[in-house]
Chain A
Amino acid sequence: MGAKILEIDEIAPAFKRYLIHEPVIARKHRAGQFVMILIHDHAERIPLTIADSDAVRGTITLVVQEVGKSTMEMGTMSPGDPIEVVGPLGKPTHIENWGTCVCVGGGAGIAPLLPIARALRDGGNRVVSILGGRTEELLILRPEMEEVSEEIHYTTDDGSFGVKGLVTHVLDTYIENCGQPELVIAIGPAVMMRAVAEQTRPLGIPTIVSLNTIMVDGTGMCGGCRVPVGGEPQFVCVDGPEFDGHEVDFNMLIKRQRIYLQQEEEARRRYLASHNCRAVAGGG
């Protein structure tokens, strides 16, 4: 098989976009699906949502935020490098003509939101997007999201762009002014998705969230990704990644995302230490 990186560009601080040649996955990809990648023999398998695909060119796009050792190391790869990619995994987003769909994206969650928003638009929906980031430059994929949205709102923590505050504030205002949408899709940090779900629950607005959990294989074999949904354990890799936001046990999800926090921190520290040493040695 042999997937290969074609292009890498930095779209925001610590955010890189990878264009990967992988014709089979490009042809099969549907909005909402993800891949597992492995960057070398000693690396870990990590799940990444497909941000875009081009069946004609045979490419998929991944947008990766550099948060730990694996994603930082991935950032040092170059065009032409081989990369192991398997997928497309997970259930595609269920698309139908709902009417108005509000797409709420936070931080790195904007990347997986893009293909879903596009599929909803193509499915005849009116797409209203509410995107949040810490600062203006961390609001990624703005032109792409604007292209698929009929209406778009931005929030930043520092007020450097759009409304100062949280996406939930804008969602509140939107519902107040324009009435209830038929569907809300929220993708972002677990605390953001929980806040959106809590906001729409009393209003009875169907709310879909896309979960990001620890996985080893991504095909239902390890069960490491399991999260209680409606009181029943669900495997995010094969039963999801999208679930009814009102049924997800976000508290458990947040705890389970932190299982390997200590090891992740150790790996990151070691990586940065060795990386900086090399940089210093190279500079000398």
Chain B
Amino acid sequence: MPRELTKKERLAIPRHPMPAVDPAERVQNFEEVTIGYTEEMAVGEAERCLECKKPKCVDSCPVGIDIPAFVDAVAHGRFSQALAIIKADNTLPAICGRVCPQEDQCEQTCVTGNKGDPVAIGRLERFVADYERGRGEIRMPRCKSPSGFKVGIVGSGPAGLACAASLTMEGHEVTVFEALHKPGGVLIYGIPEFRLPKAIVRDEIRSLTEMGVEFKCNFVVGATATVDELMGEWGYDVLFICTGAGLPYFMGIPGEELIGVCSANEFLTRVNLMRGFDFPNYDTPVAIGRRVAVVGAGNVAMDCCRTALRLGCEKVICLYRRTRSEAPARIEELEHAEEEGVDFRWLAAPVEVLGNEDGIVTGVRVQKMELGEPDLSGRPRPVPIEGSEYVVDLDSIIVGIGQGANPLLTQATAGLDVDKRGCIITEEITQMTSIPGVFAGGDIVTGAATVILAMGAGKLAAHSIDCYLRGVPMVAEEEAKDDAENDAGLAALIPSELETRTQNGAM
């Protein structure tokens, strides 16, 4: 029976820690690190929610999930209903529950967190998604009758998947174009198995396929067909460009062309997409040696550090020119990397890669830094300390300092306006580009950001595209959402008999 708790009782419950595999064990393999809540933990954690009258968590969610409602459903053991509530706004909860930076979003503004730790909203989201997966009961949302419109989505990462789901539900015929041989974008090539099992991504993509989304892999828009051709002879009424931030940045320091320096993108793609960790069972090799430095301290850099450990590296050093407080990675990722034995060198900037006569990396010259005045990003500027340089002996260096916009599509598309960084310029509300009927969103517009922000952009673009196709003025997202709920979109998602069974089971 669900308990009725007072506010004081709720606040007295400590936040439930996330069960995780022991660090010494987990660095031996690529299995998922965090185990997930049990039903009891999930209910207990959900009971910490104060059910605020004006919940701030919802405003901090890029896709506006009705968090108090889903958490309340969890507290009452109605897990399927909780998932249906999430899925009304977020089609990929098993993924977002794992990779969203909740501490900077919903959990940052959680009122429970004012006096202690916030409700573990992300862990609860993951729990309900896994609960349904575990029961093999992934259900399709109901789609509207066919509209007759054809939509092409360029890129199958988070923005593309979110957009595809929404537009298919609206009855449009959706094709997703993917340049690589497997769909999923960064969810497949970038984020490692131990943080996001690929089976989850495959299941989400299979769900979309069953809803009617067509995936065309091995198709590079801008090369295999241009935007003009897709809008012309291929017969697409609308395109949504969400090609992501696929261009790796290098440091621009001497020695960077040496053998043993690679981008985080290359390293992670070899391991994740091409399964290079299982060479020679898989044909793509990975060669990083025993001592590795990863440059950067964002989520991608953490993924590289932890992947390198799992490949058997003896020493993995993370070089970052600021301190832990400024590191862009999620706290959980930093903590996991620390537990697993990554050697963090804060305030350390590489200034030269050193190599031998065969062009093979032997080390890196590092300069110590100190923090100065804030720069344009608002973070303290790292300032070199004169005469502080030292050499670290290494076999390889992985550069994980960020990605920019891949110019392949934009350069092949006349009339598509981009900014000086090469990001596509869109109209703020509608997300339409300088080409009528061509929309864009995600990292290709904002520069490298997060999975959830890209999904938010994909979802908003879907709404805008739907209005454009139907020839109706775009209404604000809030109203659109209310309409959708009134349209019984939510009711269609909740299987009533299942909900009853779950309740009975809980009692």
Binding site for B on A (CB under 8 A): 1, 24-25, 28, 38, 42-45, 69-70, 84-89, 216-217, 219-224, 226-228, 233, 238, 249, 251-252, 255-256, 258-260, 262-264, 266-267, 270
Contact = CB atoms under 8 A, between A and B. Distances in A.
Contact of A259 (B225, B275, B283, B287): B287
Contact of A220 (B247, B274, B287): B247
B469 to A, nearest CB: 26
Given A28-B225, A44-B282, A45-B181, 11 more contacts: A1-B216, A87-B223, A87-B224, A88-B224, A89-B223, A219-B408, A222-B266, A226-B257, A249-B257, A256-B359, A264-B285
Contacts of B224: 24-25, 28, 86-88
Contact of A223 (B180, B263, B408): B263
Contacts of B274: 44-45, 216
A222 B269 contact: yes
B259 interface: yes
B220 A219 contact: yes
Interface string B49-81: 000000000000000000000000000000000
A220 B283 contact: no
A160 to B, nearest CB: 35
B123 interface: no
Contacts, number: 120
A1 B248 contact: no
B219 interface: yes
B416 interface: no
B223 A88 contact: yes
A256 B248 CA distance: 18
Interface SS, A side: mixed
B40 interface: no
A228 B255 CA distance: 11
Contacts of B280: 263, 266-267, 270
B246 interface: yes
Contacts of B359: 251-252, 255-256
Nearest to B247: A220
B218 A1 contact: yes
A44 B283 contact: yes
A38 B284 CA distance: 11
B407 A223 contact: no
Contacts of A69: 283
B406 interface: yes
A151 B209 CA distance: 55
B218 A221 contact: no
B250 interface: yes
Contacts of A38: 181
B248 A267 contact: no
B218 A85 contact: yes
B265 interface: yes
Given A42-B282, A45-B181, A221-B247, A86 B219 contact: yes
A263 B279 contact: yes
B220 A238 contact: no
B207 to A, nearest CB: 22
A45 to B, nearest CB: 7
B266 A223 contact: yes
Nearest to B245: A221
Contacts of A238: 407-408
Contacts of B285: 260, 263-264, 267
Nearest to A86: B218
A260 B287 CA distance: 7
Given A87-B220, A267-B280, A224 B262 contact: yes
| Most interface-central of A43, A219, A227, A249 (chain B CB within 10 A) | A219
Interface in B171-197: 179-181, 189
A38 B224 CA distance: 17
Contacts of A45: 181, 274, 284
Given A1-B218, A28-B225, A88-B223, A222 B248 contact: yes
13 contacts: A1-B216, A1-B218, A86-B179, A88-B224, A217-B180, A223-B250, A252-B359, A259-B287, A262-B287, A263-B280, A264-B285, A267-B280, A267-B283
Given A44-B274, A266-B280, A220 B407 contact: yes
Contact of A227 (B247, B257, B259): B257
B248 A24 contact: no
A70 B283 CA distance: 8
A249 B258 CA distance: 12
B228 interface: no
Contacts of B200: none
A219 B407 contact: no
B402 to A, nearest CB: 13
A220 B281 contact: no
B265 A221 contact: yes
Given A44-B284, A45-B181, A262-B287, A222 B218 contact: no
Nearest to B248: A223
A45 B262 CA distance: 17
